[in-house]
Structure 1
Amino acid sequence: MKRFAAYDPPEYQNWTAAPEQLRAYRERIDASDERAEVIRALSQEQLLDIYAGLLRNRLHDVALKRWVKNGVISKAWLGVGEEAATIGPVHALRRSGPGRDVVAPMIRNSGACHEMGMPVADIFRSYLGTADSPSMGRDLHVGHLDAGVLPPISHVGDVVPVIAGIALTFKQRGEDRVGLTWVGDGSTKTGAFHEGVNFAGVHRLPVIFIIQNNQVALGTRLTQHAAGSFEDWPAMYGLAGGVFDGNHVLDAYAATRIAADRARAGEGPSLLVGETFRMGGHATHDEREARSMFDAELFASWGRRDPVGLYEAWLEEEGVARGTLDDIEARVTAEIDAAAEDALRSRETAMPSPESAIVGVYG
């Protein structure tokens, strides 16, 4: 895919797939017979749809960073380097129709919004605070229940019991549906996280929790708990568990698909751990501070494992023509560019009125 000198992390700008990284990528697919079976069942159409989702997620973030640099918005919360931990799990769910599943993304999981069917322009409008955004200009935490996306709050674990409650309604109604949410490694220290996961385990709810371990909570390194590794946590709640490579979209897909099938079969919730790394700051305003907090080699090592680039290289090894990938990239690029322009027009014509601030407010 095209790299952007002004917007991509420096580790991505002249990126090529190292043979040892590509070999490890392929070995990960075959490391588990159960996951390998799920992955090998994907059609080429599904594989290319996942590729388009990764590109859409990356280019969405490029567009936001361009807006920051051009002064359109003051800052943005980007998921660069973590795209596979979002796109893989979402594609493992039911994403359309009245029986669609429900996801509750963190702000860095914005890829869940467009892959569940929300227009990209609406995601951009949420950043611009326009009246025609899904939240009618109130908040940039974007979602729409018609698309199966629960609009989140600032995600300090509080959505964990909420998605458990949604899964409880699925069970009580006898609906063949699954709820899924991501939670950051830092937010696992909150009471709401533990209460929600425990409730789901006790009631055997059809829900999947993903600890998206990107190695840092705001500006705090991952040294915040003494309860073993995250891999040990599912057993504490009586949940099924598993660890997936958060930079490997197919591993993320397979782990989630297996968990979703378990949930639909009445076998209860799963707690998955996606190991990944944030290739930037908490938001665009503190990228320099993030670089100073970790050794340069940590960024370099994770940078060699670009989730978009490695998947693209794997597809080519699997026989997908370069021209096919270029055509998908051109289509997605045009989609993102058109969505950004559409959202910018809303800023000129559809800003919320002052009176709308009290509409829908309770208390």
Structure 2
Amino acid sequence: MRRYAAYDPPEYTSWQPDRGLVEEYRERVSADPDREREIVALPPEALLAMYRGLLRFRLSDIALARWVKQGVISKAWLGTGEEAVTVGAVHALDRRGPEGDIVGPMIRNQGANYEMGVPIIELFRTYLATADAPAGGRDLHLGDLRYGVCPPISMVATLSTVMNGFALAFRIRGERRVALTWVGDGATKHGEAHEAFAFAASLKLPIVFIIQNNQVALGTRLDQHHAPPDFSDWGPAYGIPSRSVDGNHVLDVYAATRLAAERCRQGGGPQLIEARTFRMGGHATHDVHEARATFAPELFERWGRRDPIGQYEEYLADIDLGAEGEGEFRERNLALLESVEQEVEAEIEAVAEEALASRYLAVPRAETAASGVYSEAPA
């Protein structure tokens, strides 16, 4: 994909495929027979749909970052470098709106919304706090239950207990539906996460917990708040089947999530997945410089070579995507991927421009300020 020096991490602007890592990426597909079976069953259109999802996520983040530089908004919370954890998981689910599975994203899983079907313009309207946004300009956290998305909650880890409620309802009603939520490595230090894991395990709820281990909790490194090297032993501690995935490998995340969701549907109770990834920017756009000072430059370089989009592009370029036209096999694939990128880029630019108009056409009215408020201070 195109790189943007003004918005991408520097390791991405000069990104070139590392042949050793590309081979490692391919080998990961066949490393586990069960996951391999799920991956090889994917038709070209499903593989390309995940590629669109990754691009949509990255390019919408870039559009938000551009707004920050232009002064349209004050800051934005981005998922740069972590897109595969969101896109791979969502594509493994039953996405049928209110009748299908339900997800509870963190704010860094913003891409879950449009991959579940929420119109992408709602992301931009939400950041602009316009009256035509899903929350009417009242809340930055985007979600819409009509599409199977429960909005994030600022108190991280709290959402995991809420998602247990959905899973409990599915179990009581005998529905073959699954709840899924992401928990950051920092959020695992909040009591709600432990309550959620224990409650789900005790009642064998159909829920998938993804610990999104991006190595940092706001500005605290993993080694400063977590004793073990990873979270591989957390599942057994609660009696929950657990597995680890390469969080920068969209197909690995997809396959592990699909297997976990199926176990939930068969009555296997909650499932836990640790996705190992890395936050390539700041907690938000306001503290990128401080965030990059938190880690050694070599760590950014190491994870920068593992760009989830660049790696996936290299994988797709060498498999049969049914690409037509002139040129060699790989050339046709690369041309197809470029055309997909152009479509997504045009989509993002169009909806961002449309959303900007809402600043003038859909200004929240003062008389609606108390709408949806369930508690008021005594007179």
Check the 8 A contact 1:106/1:155 in 2, yes or no: no
Aligned-partner residue type, residue 113 of structure 2: C
Q: Tell whether 2:100 aligns with 1:100.
A: yes
In 2, the alpha carbon distance for the partners of 1:87 and 1:139 equals 24
User: Residues 39-188 of structure 1 correspond to what in structure 2 (within 5 A)?
Assistant: 39-188=39-188
Corresponding residue of 2:190: 190
Aligned-partner residue type, residue 346 of structure 2: A
Deviations for 1:96-129, whole angstroms, at most 9, x for unmatched residues?
Answer: 2552110000011011000000011001110000
Corresponding residue of 1:264: 265
Aligned residues: CA RMSD: 1.0
Corresponding residue of 1:362: 374
Aligned-partner residue type, residue 100 of structure 1: G
Q: Kindly report structure 1 stretches of 4+ aligned residues shifted beyond 4 Å.
A: none
Corresponding residue of 1:37: 37
User: Residues 179-258 of structure 1 correspond to what in structure 2 (within 5 A)?
Assistant: 179-223=179-223, 224-226=225-227, 229-258=230-259
Deviations for 1:34-79, whole angstroms, at most 9, x for unmatched residues?
Answer: 1111101111110000000000000010000000011100100000
In 2, the alpha carbon distance for the partners of 1:227 and 1:16 equals 33
Corresponding residue of 1:348: 360
In 2, the alpha carbon distance for the partners of 1:202 and 1:307 equals 36
SS, match of residue 5 in structure 2: coil
Aligned-partner residue type, residue 256 of structure 2: A
Give how far 1:229 is off: 3.3
SS, match of residue 358 in structure 1: coil
Check the 8 A contact 2:98/2:148 in 1, yes or no: no
Give how far 1:230 is off: 0.6
Corresponding residue of 2:291: 290
Choose 309-318 or 221-230, whichever is displaced more: 221-230
Check the 8 A contact 1:22/1:313 in 2, yes or no: yes
Q: TM-score, normalised by structure 1?
A: 0.98
Deviations for 1:176-225, whole angstroms, at most 9, x for unmatched residues?
Answer: 11000001101101111111111100010110000000000000010213
Deviations for 1:225-263, whole angstroms, at most 9, x for unmatched residues?
Answer: 336731000001111111000000000000100000000
Equivalent pairs counted in the alignment come to 363
Give structure 2 stretches of 5+ with no counterpart: 322-332
Corresponding residue of 2:21: 21
In 2, the alpha carbon distance for the partners of 1:98 and 1:220 equals 37
Corresponding residue of 1:335: 347
Check the 8 A contact 1:155/1:183 in 2, yes or no: no
SS, match of residue 361 in structure 1: coil
Choose 219-228 or 41-50, whichever is displaced more: 219-228
Check the 8 A contact 2:97/2:145 in 1, yes or no: no
SS, match of residue 273 in structure 1: strand
Give how far 1:155 is off: 4.5
Deviations for 1:132-158, whole angstroms, at most 9, x for unmatched residues?
Answer: 101110111100000100011114110
Aligned-partner residue type, residue 347 of structure 1: R
Check the 8 A contact 2:98/2:145 in 1, yes or no: no
Q: TM-score, normalised by structure 2?
A: 0.94
Corresponding residue of 2:325: none
In 1, the alpha carbon distance for the partners of 2:21 and 2:357 equals 43
Give structure 1 stretches of 5+ with no counterpart: none
Corresponding residue of 1:3: 3
In 1, the alpha carbon distance for the partners of 2:337 and 2:343 equals 10
